[in-house]
């Protein structure tokens, strides 16, 4: 059970994903003087603002204001091909809150649709809510419910910063400026993307490797724990990013396939579809009441349960 909880909070995610994963021209010299210099400076600044407005990374950074955020809706399919061809579907919905340098808090509800509701994993079918703030996450519901002490509703887990990526979530975190920049640098095609969140979009598409994502994304580094090696290093992640007329991301679709045959004789394909709406919305994520919070050591978990849950994907997809 402890291992199951760790997997779902991203602490051992690596085991599931990576087994053994127009510039201004020069001013004319004629008529140069204080007035001309001021005009030239003004024109340069105006051109810089225009370029910045056309840059998705700059547009994202302008959203980084205290108690402002964006709503996230995400659907993920994990498709197992092998011993047991099955599909897990997850859905996350909630709010990401920004500070001056990026995401600082989140309040997200996650629901799973499993190919089976038998055994210990049946608790996953119950939606869970996770609040992350100031480097601490609090989760209520899901597999935690039956193990919580009397009177406690939230399980506390401590980590570094807010982690937006796990094997069951979007691997391309476009709320990270470095990740957005690195991914768009691999754009192979652009075309009209339809209307999302009330704005016309252009969809950029391409492929980026897991190593390149690891280099660019703090969330991916936290998820994997160490740099991917072997075949996992060059694992291709195919993506589409829908960018609105205001240069803000409205939708991200990604997919990749990872072999886990050393674990459970199968291959897992992850397909993630994330939508962002309401950029700039007000947000004030707060931790739950202290008297309703419990830590891992307080959970009522038997040794046999921990042994059975060492690898939940083996139970779902193994032979």
Query: Could you write out the three-class secondary structure of 206-220?
Result: EEEEHHHHHHHCHHH
pLDDT at 208: 97
Is position 28 within any domain?
Answer: no
Task: Tell me the C-alpha distance between 8 and 4, whole Å.
Answer: 6
pTM value? 0.77
- Burial environment of residue 239 by CB neighbours within 10 A (0 to 12, 13 to 18, 19 or more): buried
**For the segment 243-261, what is each residue's pLDDT rounded down to a tens digit?**
999 999 999 999 999 875 5
pLDDT at 55: 92
Domain of residue 178 covers 2-21+53-317
Residues in Cβ contact with 8 at an 8 Å cutoff, skipping those fewer than 6 apart: 124, 128, 142, 143, 166, 168
Is position 41 within any domain?
Answer: no
Residues in Cβ contact with 163 at an 8 Å cutoff, skipping those fewer than 6 apart: 10, 132, 219, 222, 223
Is position 40 within any domain?
Answer: no
Q: What are phi and psi of 106, to 5 degrees?
A: -155, 155
Task: Tell me the C-alpha distance between 211 and 304, whole Å.
Answer: 37
Do residues 292 and 153 touch, judged by C-beta distance below 8 A?
yes
Tell me the CATH number at 178. 2.50.20.20
pLDDT at 126: 76
Grouped pLDDT means (10 residues each) for the chain, 319 residues: 37 34 32 47 50 79 96 91 73 94 92 64 72 90 83 82 58 95 97 96 97 94 87 93 97 88 66 96 95 88 48 50
Task: Tell me the C-alpha distance between 139 and 127, whole Å.
Answer: 10
When divided into structural domains, the chain yields a total of 1
Task: Tell me the C-alpha distance between 126 and 143, whole Å.
Answer: 8
Is position 59 within any domain?
Answer: yes
Pairing relation of β-strands 187-196 and 154-158? unpaired
**DSSP 3-state of 171:** coil
Compute how many other C-beta atoms are within 10 angstroms of the C-beta atom of residue 40. Answer: 15
Task: Tell me the C-alpha distance between 32 and 27, whole Å.
Answer: 8
Is position 121 within any domain?
Answer: yes
Task: Tell me the C-alpha distance between 155 and 164, whole Å.
Answer: 18
Do residues 102 and 176 touch, judged by C-beta distance below 8 A?
yes
Is position 279 within any domain?
Answer: yes
């Amino acid at each position: 059970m402890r291992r199951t909880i760790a997997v779902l909070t991203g602490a051992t995610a690596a085991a599931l994903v990576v087994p053994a994963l127009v510039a201004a021209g020069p001013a004319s010299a004629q008529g140069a003087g204080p007035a001309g210099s001021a005009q030239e400076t003004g024109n340069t600044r105006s051109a810089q603002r225009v370029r910045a407005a056309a840059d998705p990374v700059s547009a994202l950074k302008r959203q980084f204001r205290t108690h402002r955020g964006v709503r996230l809706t995400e659907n993920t399919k994990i498709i197992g091909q092998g011993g047991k061809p099955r599909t897990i579907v997850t859905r996350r919905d909630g709010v990401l809150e920004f500070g001056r340098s990026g995401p600082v808090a989140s309040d997200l509800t996650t629901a799973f649709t499993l190919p089976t509701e038998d055994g210990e994993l049946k608790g996953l079918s119950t939606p869970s809510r996770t609040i992350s703030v100031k480097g601490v996450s609090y989760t209520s519901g899901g597999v935690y419910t039956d193990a919580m002490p009397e009177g406690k509703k939230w399980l506390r887990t401590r980590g570094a910063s807010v982690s937006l990526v796990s094997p069951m979530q979007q691997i391309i975190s476009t709320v990270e400026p470095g990740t957005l920049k690195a991914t768009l640098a691999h754009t192979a095609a652009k075309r009209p993307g339809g209307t999302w969140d009330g704005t016309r979009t252009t969809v950029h598409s391409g492929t980026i490797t897991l190593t390149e994502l690891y280099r660019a994304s703090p969330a991916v580094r936290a998820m994997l724990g160490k740099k991917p090696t072997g075949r996992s290093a060059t694992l291709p992640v195919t993506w589409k990013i829908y960018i609105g007329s205001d240069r803000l991301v409205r939708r991200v679709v990604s997919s990749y396939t990872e072999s886990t045959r050393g674990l459970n004789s199968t291959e897992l394909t992850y397909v993630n579809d994330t939508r962002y709406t309401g950029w700039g919305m007000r947000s004030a994520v707060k931790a739950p009441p202290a008297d309703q919070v419990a830590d891992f050591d307080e959970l009522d978990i038997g040794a046999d349960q921990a042994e059975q849950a060492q690898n939940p994907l083996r139970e779902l997809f193994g032979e």
